[in-house]
Structure 1
Amino acid sequence: MQTRKQLITPAPATIPDQTKLARHTGAPEHGPGILFFSGGSALRDVARAITHYTHNTVHLITPFDSGGSSATIREAFNIPALGDIRSRLMALADQSVPDNQAIFDLFSHRLHAKASPELLSEELASLADGTHALFRPLPAARREAICRQLRQFAELMPSGFDLHGASVGNLVLAAAFLANRERFTPAIDFFSRLLNVLGTVLPVVDCNGHLAVRLADGKVLVGQHRFTGKEFPPIRSAIQDIWLTPSLQSASRITTPICDTSAAHIRRADLICYPMGSFYSSIIATLLPHGTGTAIAANPCPKVFVPNTGADPELFGHDLPAQVERLLRTLRSDSPETIADSDVLNIILLDKENGRYKGTLNRDALAARGISVLELPLVNDDSEPYMDGDRLSATLISLCD
């Protein structure tokens, strides 16, 4: 790796940096480019809050989810998961646009989980023709743009498609994806224009793969839904390895390169963040594509790890030091001999007073590896045990050069 200047971690007393916050609040369109590796809902509040300071965040999302509404669509059309991408786009929607709340309500709506197939088909029809009650607040142009996608989905939907619990937002994004020859960019662009999204959301890879893990007891679980603790009982043996597979029927490993567009965003980011969230399925999963660690190491910007302050079922058998080592091992996997720890991680953000962490970090040992531990009040009474989105956003903005 290239020689780079030593990053100096600010003193806790200087964060949040009120001067930086005031400057970026006044011109968020010129704000710093903070890049997040994540998926799921854990970063939703941060995504909303950070738009007050910058409209230039980049969110690289995992497309490997195999549970919920995404699973039904994936199985029917053999496409990557779209739900986490849709969720992040909605979190970044311009909150100052009056109609966006109505679109948010529409895209958050799920068809009834226990209704008869006939009633579900009727509701989809009312959505597709714009007569559903959720369309009433929308102006005609936006209504028709959404209805067009829902009609497209209804036409493409295979016979017997299970609409129980279907997310309207996922149906719309799936239709846009399928109508554009299964390309993410035009589908995401449609969503972004519709909601005036204040940031960039991308899949980390354009790959229809799945996640597999090996547990300490030797068991191999194929499919994200089998180890997140949501649809199956929580795991009771620690995850020791994670990789990509071609399908839910195969545990064989596949290697896929990171998208060129995603790699370019990584190389020019002003700060890279590995945030809280499901540690393996949301964070580590986005770092698996080949070339990710190399792109991160090539950028001399600050790299920040924000461990979970609450419980994460995927971290059974992992204390905080183990999480750091697992993260570093993944980040350096492209070239362990040439990528140093400090090339891919510089700061670990903790709230020791309010966070619920297992284990203690050896600060001196980490400092010798070029990694600083920064303790700040990131959890408040309303957010406990989780981090407050406003506080973490202000902290990340303050850490940008």
Structure 2
Amino acid sequence: MAPLTIQRSASVPDELRVARCLSAPHRGPRLVFFSGGSALNGISRRLKRYTHNSAHLITPFDSGGSSEVLRNAFAMPAVGDLRSRLMALAEETDLGQPDIVRLFSHRFPVDAAPAVLESEVEQVLAGEHPLVRAVPQPMRMLVVSHLQSFAQHAPVDFDYAGGSVGNLVIAGGYLANERLLEPVLFMMSKMMDVLGTVRSVVDVNLHIGAEYADGRVVIGQKEITGKELPPPEERIQRLFLSDGMTEVPRAEIILPKRNRRLIQKADLICYPPGSLFSSVGANLLPARVGQEIAATQVPKVYVPSLGCDPESYGMSLCEQVGALLDILWSDAGPEVPATALMTHVICDSSVPTSECDAVIERFGIPCVPLPVADETGKRYDATSFCEMLVSLV
């Protein structure tokens, strides 16, 4: 497939495409993101102005924070990133967030006295907390049923400190629905009027592992990110899926048909900002991801993170592109052209020209510097980011 070019169409200028999206977001483009973590949440909140048809395939492999507590207690996928993306895409009113979103956003206190924490937990799980009671029926009845399901299954020593009520609702729904995430994510999407689609890339209880250049192998997302633990000052050579002890063959973990259809119907595919391996690369590990992307004739855009990403230690922009392509090639096949898996790399104009030239020379992928960073230079400006993407469709 010939690489696409970033330029204004003579008949449909960028400004017109943006204006069309702003005037009718319900008819906006179908953008598919392979995402995780919080890096895209701010952009997702702004994206609702341009399209209600974005789809977010989220990694369920996190092993830190409150997700770790749930995973250890129930042997389930990580749900924290799913919850936060659902809330980022939830419809908002002139009065702010709806009551249901405020409830799902609420976290139990970390530093409260044990008796205070226990009292609030009991109120929430019994459906008597003011945030629960503020939710109108029949949504409140559904929420309470999932909270009570959670309460029935939770171990007596479960640590609620810092836990998210939304995570408890998802976990309760997961346990009440034959240990499946899709039914409870669908329910939460409807309750919050989510303006898009949020799914786990696969519904399995697995972890990611990394093999480093010095031969070390670690298993667990928090071992890789350099956020909760000191970052390994070595380059990741290979990423893989694990049951927590040993590697799981890629062929055993297949991208579900419902998620394949999202890729097949996409108007644009984005590898967005986020931790290179644990947020973006992890979503590309299941079988059929690379094949489906290669077969879809749409723009496929990589937008690298700004600032410091401990996971891309010592890696140039060209090497970061190569790391993602290697994961995709291991599924799609090495004979697939790089431009069938990634048609553009778009970076901020602060990136040196030599970095962009290296991407073009090695992979033949256009690398386009654009002024898309905010005033800090460490994050993307949400409006510029969204308008850049919809202009490519």
Per the normalisation by structure 1, the TM-score is 0.91
Letter of the structure 2 residue corresponding to residue 36 of structure 1: F
Corresponding residue to 2:278 among 278, 281, 298: 281
Corresponding residue to 1:222 among 219, 225, 228: 219
Per the normalisation by structure 2, the TM-score is 0.93
Match of 2:373 in 1: 379
Corresponding residue to 1:168 among 156, 165, 170: 165
Corresponding residue to 2:35 among 24, 34, 38: 38
Does the alignment pair 1:362 with 2:328?
Answer: no
**Residue 238 of structure 2 aligns to a residue in which SS?**
strand
**1:310-321 matches, cutoff 5 A:** 310-321=307-318
Partners of 1:319 and 1:8 lie apart in 2 by 23
Q: Deviations over 1:232-254 (max 9, x none)?
A: 1122111111100012xx13333
Letter of the structure 1 residue corresponding to residue 146 of structure 2: Q
**Residue 327 of structure 2 aligns to a residue in which SS?**
helix
Partners of 1:115 and 1:368 lie apart in 2 by 55
Match of 1:338 in 2: 335
Partners of 1:58 and 1:139 lie apart in 2 by 28
Corresponding residue to 1:257 among 254, 258, 263: 254
Partners of 2:130 and 2:206 lie apart in 1 by 37
Partners of 1:69 and 1:375 lie apart in 2 by 37
Distance apart, 1:359 and its partner CA: 7.0
Letter of the structure 1 residue corresponding to residue 91 of structure 2: D
| Gapped regions of structure 2 (runs ≥ 5) | none
Distance apart, 1:150 and its partner CA: 1.5
**1:1-400 matches, cutoff 5 A:** 4=1, 6-10=3-7, 17-96=14-93, 100-135=97-132, 137-247=134-244, 250-255=245-250, 256-353=253-350, 360-362=355-357, 366=360, 369-381=363-375, 384-400=377-393
Distance apart, 1:38 and its partner CA: 0.6
Partners of 2:353 and 2:231 lie apart in 1 by 18
Matched-pair contact (CA < 8 Å) for 1:320–1:359: no
Distance apart, 1:332 and its partner CA: 1.5
**Residue 164 of structure 1 aligns to a residue in which SS?**
coil
**Residue 239 of structure 2 aligns to a residue in which SS?**
strand
Deviates more, 1:188-197 or 1:125-134: 125-134
Seen in structure 2, the aligned counterparts of structure 1 residues 186 and 260 have a Cα distance that, compared at 3 Å, is same
Aligned-pair identity (%): 40
Distance apart, 1:267 and its partner CA: 1.4
How big is the alpha-carbon RMSD for the aligned residues of Structure 1 and Structure 2? 2.4
**Residue 127 of structure 1 aligns to a residue in which SS?**
helix
**Residue 333 of structure 1 aligns to a residue in which SS?**
helix
**Residue 360 of structure 1 aligns to a residue in which SS?**
helix
Seen in structure 2, the aligned counterparts of structure 1 residues 25 and 114 have a Cα distance that, compared at 3 Å, is same
Matched-pair contact (CA < 8 Å) for 1:117–1:163: no
